[in-house]
Structure 1
Amino acid sequence: MPRRAIAHILPWANVGGTELATLRLAEAMRAGGRDTVIYVPDDAAEVADLVRDHGFALARYAHAVPRRANPLPYLVATARLALDFRRRRIGLVHGADVTGACFSAQAGRLAGARVSSHVRCGHPHLTAIDRWLLKPVERFLFVSGATMAEQDFAWPPGCAQVLYDAAVPPTPLPAPAGARAHYGLPEDALVFGMAARIHPQKDHAGLIRAAARLRARHPQVRFLMAGDHAQPGHRETFARLDALMAETGTRDLFVFSGFEAQMARFYSAIDVFVLATHTEGFPLVILE
């Protein structure tokens, strides 16, 4: 009888550290001979392209939020996902983060699969429904000890562990002059770089305010921001940042490059890496 496959459940519609870390995990499983299916939300075109580019089987699922007043959409989505798990002979459902587990854990258990979930940041204020959705998870994988200490849900003894992420070995960097030319940055600028989703969890606003204070003393300073800002859910955050840059007079200091597939080029273009953020579990960009 063939071995059952592993399903990785990606929770969001854009590419970031969670997606890249999960792909690295899936590649390690594939190297060990395990069949893998990667599930992405219905509206995650960018993530779907990334999965295909890495040669993995791709499947879609619906983000149906359970509501007491009308639980039917969630129940239908869960039943459909469970049937798909059975059809694909999924033996292990892995939530790439807590959100992925919330949408898939019940379906995994209905399909007779084991269920695990990564936990990549603190969740100090979960709702009662969130905790209920995580009940079927049999093992939690925390990216750091600090992350394990910042959770608002319980797990049985022996069902949680810290599993650190890993960065890919560095690749040769292109020439800085060419990298800066690609982003439209002056060769003689002092360039700070940040790679992160354009998301309220990150403190791009604080960095913009800091840039306004730096400008008087260091007029040659520039800021290169890599991270998606065009997908739904990120556009509103970027619009607020754009308004803040206009208010502080810093718009000409910032380059928002969008999703960057060639991170070696990004690192070659900057002098200083910065991560302005409100909370992190174990940021891959620091390792890189």
Structure 2
Amino acid sequence: MKIALLTYSTKPRGGVVHTLALAEALAALGEDVTVWTLGRGGDPGFYRPVSPAVRVRLVPFADGPAGETVGERVLRSIATLREAFDPAPYDIVHAQDCISANAAGRCVRTVHHIDHFTTPELAACHERAIVEPFAHICVSAAVAGELADGWGIEATVVPNGVAYDRFATTDPAVRASWRSRLGHYVLTVGGIEPRKGSLDLLEAYALLRADHPGVRLVIAGGETLFDYRDYRARWEQRAAELGLDPVVLGPVPEDELPSLVAAAGAFAFPSHKEGFGLAAMEALAAGVPLVVRELPVLREVFGSAARFAGPPRELAAELGHALTADDPDRRAAGHALAARHTWRTAARRHVDVYRSLGATRADSA
């Protein structure tokens, strides 16, 4: 099959990570795969090298005029990708986010998670990207349930894969280097933004320090299309009020991230909204104790491999247990869970979906 996978960015956000890993796994199965994306701000390519078996079509997307709103940027993103993308050569057009789904026209859509936007342009983009695709894939049953309850849409569930070997086997010297630089630390990956529960994690960190004064909070990642400056300002103000100085690394080079994760004393994942939790699954692959927010989707995905917490006080307590408790059974469960989630398996299940869609179209012709 000739398959087009569409995403909205070259940056290491979860949906982009998913798109590239899926594309490479599909190509390894012998499929003809092209990834389409927007090259924002002059980006010459993706955040990491892509297998030469995968074609990449990068559509230049210049910075907008001063004062451009998020809504205006979203509309310009859709228009730019739509103008460049020609669906005609492809058997399957598969969009991974609301921007690419709006640009693609008739397509398969992976709904990673369901957002609730207040910006009118984003809200309309999100709605169209749910109701207009002719087939839907979700990375968890919880998100598929939201689609069914909210829109009456039946989606196929295909869980994410994880780059298990990259995170399970890291260089001890590089891990030691991170620990020398950062000390004993709790890590979170995803930046500072509302969906990631960053303010709750900050409050939990203040409580955690009462019993673990030497532990540091390290925050990696944070590439995003959206403007979270107001939230970031509130976060920084609250950190100052609490007398905290977390380490904010920003985006970490792809080849350094696994060792940063593996060197952590614990991994915090207090998101308010997730579809799967790929960064958390990478932490399990690295053998790092994981604490996640008490959400149905995270119960579904992580089960006995993670610790669960609600408000900041619970989060602080569970992080304290994760930092100090020797829990080989939970660690082994985490390794086994991550090892089962291969991109090869995900790719095979996508191929099954694509073929079934082709048969459906043929039957109805």
Quickly say closer, same or farther: Cα 1:59–1:216, change in 2 above 3 A.
Answer: same
| 2:160 counterpart of 1:165 | yes
Q: 1:38 aligns with which of 35, 55, 79?
A: 35
Gaps of 5+ in 1: 64-71, 110-114
What secondary structure sits across from 2:161 in the alignment? coil
| 2:238 counterpart of 1:244 | yes
2:42 touches 2:60 (CA, 8 Å); kept in 1? no
> What does 1:104-123 align with in structure 2 at a 5 Å threshold?
104=104, 106=105, 109=106, 115-123=107-115
1:7 touches 1:93 (CA, 8 Å); kept in 2? yes
What secondary structure sits across from 2:235 in the alignment? helix
| 2:142 counterpart of 1:146 | yes
Quickly say closer, same or farther: Cα 1:210–1:103, change in 2 above 3 A.
Answer: same
Which TM-score applies when normalising by structure 2? Answer: 0.61
Which TM-score applies when normalising by structure 1? Answer: 0.75
Quickly say closer, same or farther: Cα 1:122–1:169, change in 2 above 3 A.
Answer: same
1:58 maps to 57
Aligned partners of 2:195 and 2:281: how far apart in 1? Answer: 19
Aligned partners of 1:73 and 1:211: how far apart in 2? Answer: 39
Q: Give the AA of the match of 1:146.
A: A
CA positional deviation for 1:177? 2.1
CA positional deviation for 1:203? 0.7
Aligned partners of 1:179 and 1:54: how far apart in 2? Answer: 28
2:178 maps to 179
> What does 1:73-222 align with in structure 2 at a 5 Å threshold?
77=80, 80-82=83-85, 84-86=86-88, 89-104=89-104, 106=105, 109=106, 115-123=107-115, 127=123, 130-151=126-147, 152-155=150-153, 160-171=155-166, 172-175=169-172, 176-181=175-180, 184-186=181-183, 189=184, 191-222=185-216
Q: Give the AA of the match of 2:227.
A: G
Aligned partners of 2:43 and 2:247: how far apart in 1? Answer: 21
Q: Give the AA of the match of 1:143.
A: V
What percent identity do the matched residue pairs reach?
24
Aligned partners of 2:176 and 2:76: how far apart in 1? Answer: 53
Gaps of 5+ in 2: 63-74, 283-365
CA positional deviation for 1:75? 9.2
CA positional deviation for 1:25? 0.7
What secondary structure sits across from 1:49 in the alignment? coil
Aligned partners of 1:73 and 1:116: how far apart in 2? Answer: 22
Q: 1:20 aligns with which of 17, 20, 23?
A: 17
Aligned partners of 2:76 and 2:40: how far apart in 1? Answer: 17
CA positional deviation for 1:212? 1.5
CA positional deviation for 1:37? 2.1
Aligned partners of 2:267 and 2:23: how far apart in 1? Answer: 28
Aligned partners of 1:177 and 1:234: how far apart in 2? Answer: 33
Q: Give the AA of the match of 1:150.
A: E
Deviations 1:131-186 (A, max 9, x none): 3454441210011111112233343xxx52111111122342222322223xx213
Q: Give the AA of the match of 2:151.
A: F
Aligned partners of 1:270 and 1:16: how far apart in 2? Answer: 21
CA positional deviation for 1:241? 2.5
Aligned partners of 2:240 and 2:192: how far apart in 1? Answer: 17
2:141 touches 2:157 (CA, 8 Å); kept in 1? yes
Deviations 1:92-122 (A, max 9, x none): 2111134432332x2xx3xxxxx21111113
The structure with the largest helix share of the pair is 2
| 2:8 counterpart of 1:11 | yes
1:8 touches 1:94 (CA, 8 Å); kept in 2? yes
Q: Give the AA of the match of 2:97.
A: D
Deviations 1:183-210 (A, max 9, x none): x213xx3x21111243321111111111
2:10 touches 2:16 (CA, 8 Å); kept in 1? no
Aligned partners of 2:266 and 2:279: how far apart in 1? Answer: 13
Aligned partners of 1:257 and 1:266: how far apart in 2? Answer: 11
What secondary structure sits across from 1:147 in the alignment? helix
Q: Give the AA of the match of 1:257.
A: L
